[in-house]
Amino acid sequence: MPEDAREGELRPAGDRPGKTEARRGFSVSYRGRNLLSTVDPIGQAERAVEALPLLERTLYLCPSPLLGYGLETLLAKLEGVSNSALLCIEADERLFEFSLEALNPALKNDPRFRYTNIRESGALCAFVRGCWGPRRFRRIQPVRLTGGWRLTPEIYDSLEESLRRDLALGWGNALTLTKLGRRYMRNALRNLSLVSRFPSIAELGFGAAPVLVMGAGPSLDDLLDSLARRFAEKLKYPERRPFRIVCVDTCLPCLRERGIVPDLAVILESQHWNLRDFIGVRNRKIAAALDLSALPATGRILGGDIFLFTTPWTGLRLFGRLGEAGLLPPRLLPLGSVGLTAAELARRLGRGKVIVTGLDFSFTPDAYHARSSPGHLDRLLRHDRFHSLLNADAAFGAASFGTVSKSGLPVRSSPVMRNYRGLFEQEFAGNPRLFDIRGTGLPLGIQTVETEEALDMLETGGPGQARRPDAAGVTPRDREDAAPPPAPREALAAFIGREEDRLTLLRSILTGGAGAEGLETLLDECDYLWAHFPDCAGAGGRRPSARDTGFLRRVRAEIDPFLELWRLTLKEI
């Protein structure tokens, strides 16, 4: 134990002051601060605990617990509270060792209690999910029982905010799954027919060429103007550019207006409103990276090759069976945003620098999207004496707020945009290959460069450019890195036949045509039938019992539509 951490009457752990002695007062001094009250520190901690609200599904967060006064009282109060737990964090390594030695062993063995010295936000969120499972908690309740948190308040505040964002993201994902989970699954079944005809995203490679990732934010306009000045006509032809362009599908109209053919368009959206992104580009030779859950119609609009990938929206046993059969396209982490997915694809597809533009996560009253994007065109079409070009509803609505861009300019944003920006930083911060261009967007946690410096990076190119790309500007990977060829139709047809048999047997059991033996197993294997139910979406793959007749009725209602979808997919292959 560090000497300066036990000044005054504090003695080594194992011989710490008893309750009576401690209530008379002593000090824990560290770095020139008294971290415990010199007058009844136990009583003060217990009174603070008594004042806390007792809430279900709550993670109580205690920074710098020191000797742990009040923690046992809090856990005792939580005995009758459902699914709540206590997490203690110590940012100082020496105080962490000091507390770890001093805490009551019974406290450390309690499954509702965890103590850690993790200081990195992403790692802490993963630690909480690993200890208690996803979406266990609904809220974070801070518990400050000592003065230790004042040594590094910014660290504790940042960790608390990260946990709040992670909880919000998890529950937001659960709500999205409830609303769109059935659509994701329907789209995926229809898109499975493409697996037998098109390659996976693993067959693409950009070598060491720099990659420009384009989102449809307002800052895209200035960058496109700068690109036109620097590269002139070469910008329009993939085979003449020294760099690659990966764009989100919303950028396609913006690039079409300038005659630019991207090397790869990323398609993620599952709903029909996304079709307006493809107006004017039907049958153009543009390669597309298509998520398995994307709207099937969007995969049939462009005239270039389709490269498949999967962003699993939840854990399903069907994914495991598809993987075992060699039918599941490569997985990407489900980031929820097509812009973030485009950045991740660009990072994976090559070894060169990745420059990001148009991923602003912010806007101004007169610029919400890039020019010629569907959102911008919609404002122009509606412009008349009664409708302004300014997007006042978005800019000054209750959900928006003012903030500052990475260039120091005042901009507007929203909680959803802020969450995506935070997720971008969580996934990509510190990556030396990623660069952002200074402009009106929010800081992304990666290196920010001026426009001219970014253009120099793109112009420099990289080795490996002698290999002639195909018409879409995409160079296949070397043979040793190549993914397996598309799955044969016979393998996919056999897989669909097995899935139809499962659903047919399950329907027979639920309608009384067969015995109930194997019902539990079938329900688990056909989890895509119920994964989107409100009581299952946030439960980490758990479902009601097979004795729950209400649950079984809902499952029965899902079987026939999915059987028809499997048959439609079989016809398409």
Q: What is the DSSP string of 467-511?
A: SPP-TTS-EEPPGGGPPPPPPPHHHHHHHHHHHHHHHHHHHHHHT
> Stretch 252-279: mean pLDDT, rounded?
93
Q: Compute the distance between CA of residue 313 and CA of residue 325 in angstroms, rounded to an integer.
A: 20
Q: Would you place residue 366 in the very low, low, confident or very high pLDDT band (cuts 50, 70, 90)?
A: confident
Q: Compute the distance between CA of residue 157 and CA of residue 123 in angstroms, rounded to an integer.
A: 16
Bin 485: left if φ > 0, else alpha if -120 < ψ < 50, else beta: beta
User: Topology of domain 3-151, per CATH?
Assistant: Rossmann fold (3.40.50)
Question: Which residues sit opposite 245 in a β-bridge?
Answer: 212
Q: Compute the distance between CA of residue 182 and CA of residue 534 in angstroms, rounded to an integer.
A: 12
Q: Where are the domains of the chain?
A: 3-151, 196-481, 489-572
Token pair for residue 63? 């920074």
Given this model, what pLDDT does residue 4 score?
42
Question: What is the longest distance spanned by two Cα atoms in the chain?
Answer: 83
Question: Which residues sit opposite 352 in a β-bridge?
Answer: none
Whole-structure pTM value: 0.79
Q: Compute the distance between CA of residue 478 and CA of residue 203 in angstroms, rounded to an integer.
A: 9
Look up tokens 């939580």; give the residue.
78
Q: Compute the distance between CA of residue 219 and CA of residue 272 in angstroms, rounded to an integer.
A: 26
In tens, the pLDDT along 211-224 reads: 999 999 999 999 99
pLDDT value at 1 more than 50: no
Average pLDDT, the chain: 86
Q: Residue 541: CB partners within 8 Å, gap ≥ 6?
A: 314, 315, 527, 531
Given this model, what pLDDT does residue 107 score?
87
Q: Compute the distance between CA of residue 333 and CA of residue 97 in angstroms, rounded to an integer.
A: 35
CA dihedral 247, 249, 254, 257 (to 10 degrees): 110
Radius of gyration of the chain measured on its C-alpha atoms: 28
- Could you say which DSSP state residue 329 is in? P
Kindly give the interhelix angle for 489-510 and 317-324, rounded to the nearest 10 degrees. Answer: 150
> Stretch 106-133: mean pLDDT, rounded?
90
Phi, psi of 178 (to 5 degrees): -60, -40
Look up tokens 């990323």; give the residue.
266
Can you list the alpha helix ranges (DSSP code H) found in 133-216? 153-195
CA dihedral 327, 330, 332, 338 (to 10 degrees): -80
Given this model, what pLDDT does residue 7 score?
40
Given this model, what pLDDT does residue 476 score?
45
Cβ contact 200:230 at 8 Å: no
Residue 534, number of CB atoms within 10 A of its CB:
12
pLDDT value at 160 more than 50: yes
Most confident region among 39-53, 204-218, 477-491 by mean pLDDT: 204-218
Cβ contact 373:256 at 8 Å: no
Cβ contact 227:335 at 8 Å: no
Given this model, what pLDDT does residue 464 score?
39
Given this model, what pLDDT does residue 194 score?
92
In tens, the pLDDT along 9-31 reads: 333 333 455 554 454 445 567 77
pLDDT value at 259 more than 70: yes
Q: Compute the distance between CA of residue 113 and CA of residue 88 in angstroms, rounded to an integer.
A: 8
